Structure 1
Amino acid sequence: MPALSIHTLGYVTALLPLLTTHLCWGLSILLGYIEPCNPYGVDCVSISNTGRHGVAYFLFKAGMLPTTLLLFLFWGLCWQWLALLGQGRHRAWLLVALLGSAALMLYALTLGHSTGYYPVLRRNGIALFLFMTFTLQVVVADGLYRTERWHGAGLGLLWLSTLTLVVALLSVALAAWLGEGYERLENGFEWWLLLLLNLPMLVLARLWQLSGLKMGLRLQE
């Protein structure tokens, strides 16, 4: 079996959810389901609201459901890469990746349904996905930081994770301070967190490309 470069999978994994959510946002505006607004600013819509109606409903699921599988493959490749670099992590972390993918799938499947337990499942699904993804990114960044070749990249990824954590904590602090007034900012924070959580995957895909990482029966450089 010939070895195949895997950086393309990394880029697709990082970009597919970003493209999906932004296309759904644009379509929902175009079709009149939401008012024109800057999703990264104040008084705009949540990511969920961009995929509730019309064609955007189907586009959202068509983009996010494949992302769940891609994410699990992505983290599995990260674990193999760390092992190749001599920084192997316990395979139990792959269970975290599986749970994160399952949580995103739960969120995507329940989006657009507002009765019964669906809203609760959707909120818990996206919260679990964000937590699992952030945790995995920190663990991978730490593994790279401990290598000689990718020490600088690992440090940069750790700083990026720190920024993500700061934004998340700022969101919590503002929610407690502003009360109902925080509703004007809440959706903007949601969009920023989605962007920040996908940037490390873009960086990792670029590192795979620079290293010439290939996949055959096993990863090889």
Structure 2
Amino acid sequence: MVADNSRIPLWPLPLLLTLLFVVAAHAAYLLSIQGGHVPACIPYLDGCVSISRAARHGWGNHLFRLLVIPCAVLHALVWWLSMRWLRDGRVMLSLGVVSAFALAVYATFLGTEGDIYRFLRRYGVIVYFGFGYLAQLALMRRASAAKALPPRLIVAMSWISIAMLMLGVANVAAGQLAPDPAMKDRWENIFEWWLGLLMVGWYAVLAVGWRKQHLAVHIERRDPL
């Protein structure tokens, strides 16, 4: 006999993903400033520090790992739920899961020393952004074809994706054109902060879409006979 049949909304999951990453990056930076590990500035404008350096030392590093590793798990869960929601999309799921795993690797080895760990951190963040971006494009394509999201939300997601692409191109251009290595680093840091914000901000828009679609999982609890 069924005793309870409840619905758990799914939209808080991508929203929580966004909030965890934003809090992790900015709180870690504040703790690193307090500990004297990095200079104080507005990184989105001044580029005095990268996200990695802001979360590499002391308590900031511990907090960043504590929040970002669960964030990576949420990434994978959101992509699995997206595949179930759209009733297909194995390539999308594969891209999303690889991106989530790369984020977990990056967070795990951030602050460690050695060439191997440096390699894992560097390519972990590259794979996270690259594969995550491709997964987002795949979701937008499938959601648009299936009319699974309101058109205005697809447009909002598309503008975020265009902005990320432009930042990526600008980052490559700055690396080639900036004559001063210090200036090059500053521009790369600025692009990294904005790119990270846009990447997780995309999931906040997805959360709005899931809320509007009333997506939820059903949980049935049965009394023993």
1:166 matches 2:166: yes
- Cα deviation, residue 147, structure 1: 3.9
SS of 1:105 mapped into structure 2: helix
1:8 matches 2:12: yes
Q: Distance in 2 between the 1:52 and 1:78 partners?
A: 32
- Cα deviation, residue 216, structure 1: 2.2
Structure possessing the higher relative contact order (Cα contacts under 8 Å, 6 or more residues apart): 2
SS of 1:2 mapped into structure 2: strand
Match of 1:40 in 2: 44
Match of 1:69 in 2: 73
Q: How many residue pairs align between the two structures?
A: 212
Which runs of no fewer than 5 residues in structure 1 stay unpaired? none
- Cα deviation, residue 43, structure 1: 4.1
Match of 1:184 in 2: 186
The answer on whether the counterparts of 2:10 and 2:210 sit within 8 Å (CA) in structure 1 is yes
Larger Rg computed on CA atoms: 2
Q: Distance in 1 between the 2:11 and 2:47 partners?
A: 37
In the alignment, residue 69 of structure 2 is paired with which amino acid? L
TM-score w.r.t. the length of structure 2 is: 0.88
Per-residue CA shift, 1:164-192, capped at 9, x if unaligned?
Answer: 10111111111111142312211111100
SS of 1:216 mapped into structure 2: strand
Match of 1:205 in 2: 207
Which runs of no fewer than 5 residues in structure 2 stay unpaired? 220-225
Aligned pairs for 1:1-221 within 5 A: 2-83=6-87, 88-89=88-89, 91-148=90-147, 150-179=150-179, 180=181, 181-216=183-218
In the alignment, residue 201 of structure 1 is paired with which amino acid? Y
Task: State the identity as a percent.
Answer: 29
Per-residue CA shift, 1:72-123, capped at 9, x if unaligned?
Answer: 001111222222xxxx32x233222221111111111111013231111110
The answer on whether the counterparts of 1:39 and 1:191 sit within 8 Å (CA) in structure 2 is yes
Greater Cα offset, 16-25 or 1-10? 1-10
In the alignment, residue 116 of structure 1 is paired with which amino acid? D
The answer on whether the counterparts of 2:79 and 2:92 sit within 8 Å (CA) in structure 1 is no
Q: Distance in 2 between the 1:167 and 1:146 partners?
A: 27
Say what the alpha-carbon RMSD is for the aligned residues.
1.6
- Cα deviation, residue 3, structure 1: 2.0
- Cα deviation, residue 154, structure 1: 1.5
Greater Cα offset, 122-131 or 141-150? 141-150
SS of 2:23 mapped into structure 1: helix
Greater Cα offset, 31-40 or 148-157? 148-157
The answer on whether the counterparts of 2:17 and 2:71 sit within 8 Å (CA) in structure 1 is yes
TM-score w.r.t. the length of structure 1 is: 0.90
The answer on whether the counterparts of 1:142 and 1:158 sit within 8 Å (CA) in structure 2 is no
SS of 2:208 mapped into structure 1: helix
In the alignment, residue 128 of structure 1 is paired with which amino acid? V
